[in-house]
Chains A and B, each alone.
Chain A
């Protein structure tokens, strides 16, 4: 299903989503679902980018990523996976099937007190499964990690019977599709987070006076922040490319570019903020932690380029991720 939204309608949605995140305590999922977020992001890819961008720029948390990926898997299961309330989670570990039983170890987001995790493996002989975390053989250990607000858990399973299971080529393809949309969403979130970080640092550089002038007038400071913006704009453009022409490759490029842009922005911003950036009272650290955590999910900006390079060397092809023809047929 595709729908066309006008610019003003999109702005209304962005304003509403911003308000929902601002009003939510720890987890905005319930309010977002009530708002109709599932249909919205499913019907208009640009909205997907907008919503995740806002989640990133406010360092908010929700189970939206889980829902987007579950939705992308829906066709493989022949139905939309019922996620229950707000606690469905994801793991992307190696998964081993033995007589319909599954063993895996991975990291999941927002497991809370229960719910279901999606397990995926896109290697040959692929696996996609939905596992109830209360099933026998599943262990969930809450993690602090670098960003405790994300409520990560280590999930391990030994010979567990999944609620749903598909294996083989179809499963690998289904998981690749889920990864595509998960990476696109994370890339948009990282860009949002990075823009906020850069905004904080730019504002500070405009007002903080040393040697009788704003530090932002020093070229060394300017170039740090300019480099951050250049990387963010590149990542933003690659997010737009994947939303317009979604492929596994364009999603990988976007995720990797966004992860690197976000980490770079956090580094440059902290250097400009100086000591205040290291304090708990300043909000910067929340964004810094979020940038570092999201970069690791579903392939880091160090791992993804290596995977892309291996594929290019295997095929000898240098694919293009977007073309002028796409301007004739905007998505």
Chain B
């Protein structure tokens, strides 16, 4: 029986492990450059971290973890970010999907699926958005009709990140009447190999195969794959969105610090560099402070979902400001240069523009802040 480590102790254990393994991990990663190979690398890292015991902390023992505060998960992801050995967005996905799944899924489903996910053996995608249901998620049309002990799913999901590389899909579908809006939704964990699922990757503006269109035609999903109970899909989705704007940011903020360091090393220090860098640091330090307060709330269990919209806007602003700074510092090279370093920052810039759209648009977040935090009329 190992005693649960303190935050500081786990941090130094991970640091010690990384000190030995990091050069090797970076070397492995350098050779690989596509989205698919980067995810492959990350899945290997997931299994290594799980087998070393680090990523078991912070998950309840009842679901296959080693127990302890969820903050222990944040510490591990943060150290990975600081070490710069992985694209931290991969670590963000389980941090968003797995906690609500572990909390709401049936014992059998969780036992069968959670650990393989956290070990990187299976990858999950998030099937929420549809062509006609973006910000207005509750209007989604994908249907799941119960026939015996099987749901038959028909519909279309879109902007589903890395669906073409995933073994499972966390699917939000309508099991009730359309007029019931959010009350008629149910969440499922669907095997992507099920007949009737067709995945068509879409190329992002920088040419990556990142998100996909996913079509479901008479896809048979056993009732055992329901996450929670029928009709609890909206509650599950809201839990996912809360994670998407809360615990997950701790690792991403760490990554922003790392990226700013990289930008200072990469970019020319023109006259106005001090102002440009200082403004970005100011934004990053503030989101760090805010996210710290949110992690404390999560740990204390007095967590307000609406308040995380503040974190989301701050995170988006800092992330986009960092890349705006890159544009300013590289100057003409940013727009016209073809050497690898400015090209990488240019692609980063283009990717960063999505941050005010995904996970709830900047406008939706501000509506939440105004109505739920300031009490302005709907």
Mark A residues whose CB is within 8 Å of B. 198, 202, 205-206, 213-214, 216-217, 219, 221-223, 225-227, 229-230, 233-235, 237-238, 240-241, 249-250, 253, 256-257, 304-310, 312-313, 316-318, 320-328
Contacts and interface: CB of A to CB of B under 8 A. Distances in A.
A214 B11 CA distance: 51
A326 to B, nearest CB: 7
Interface stretch (B43-51, B168-176, B362-370): B362-370
Contact of A238 (B75, B269, B285): B285
B296 interface: yes
Interface of B: 6-8, 11, 71, 74-75, 78, 250, 254, 257-258, 260-261, 264-265, 269, 273-279, 281-282, 284-290, 292-293, 295-296, 299, 307, 310, 313-314, 363, 365-367, 369-371, 373-378
Nearest to B292: A322
A326 B377 CA distance: 38
A237 B290 contact: yes
B275 A206 contact: no
Given A240-B289, A305-B281, A324-B250, A226 B261 contact: no
A328 B7 contact: yes
Contacts of A237: 286, 289-290, 292-293
Nearest to A241: B289
Given A230-B313, A235-B286, A308 B278 contact: yes
Contacts, number: 165
Nearest to B250: A324
A121 to B, nearest CB: 21
18 contacts: A202-B376, A219-B363, A225-B370, A226-B366, A226-B367, A233-B290, A237-B289, A241-B288, A241-B292, A253-B289, A309-B278, A312-B264, A313-B269, A320-B254, A324-B11, A324-B71, A327-B295, A327-B299
Contacts of B285: 238, 249-250, 253, 257, 321
- Interface SS majority for chain B: helix
Nearest to B293: A237
A223 B292 contact: no
Give the 5 A-B residue pairs with the shortest CB-CB distance, closest first.
A309-B278, A305-B278, A222-B370, A237-B289, A309-B277
Given A241-B289, A318-B258, A327 B7 contact: yes
A325 B276 CA distance: 30
Nearest to A203: B375
B282 A324 contact: no
A188 B279 CA distance: 20
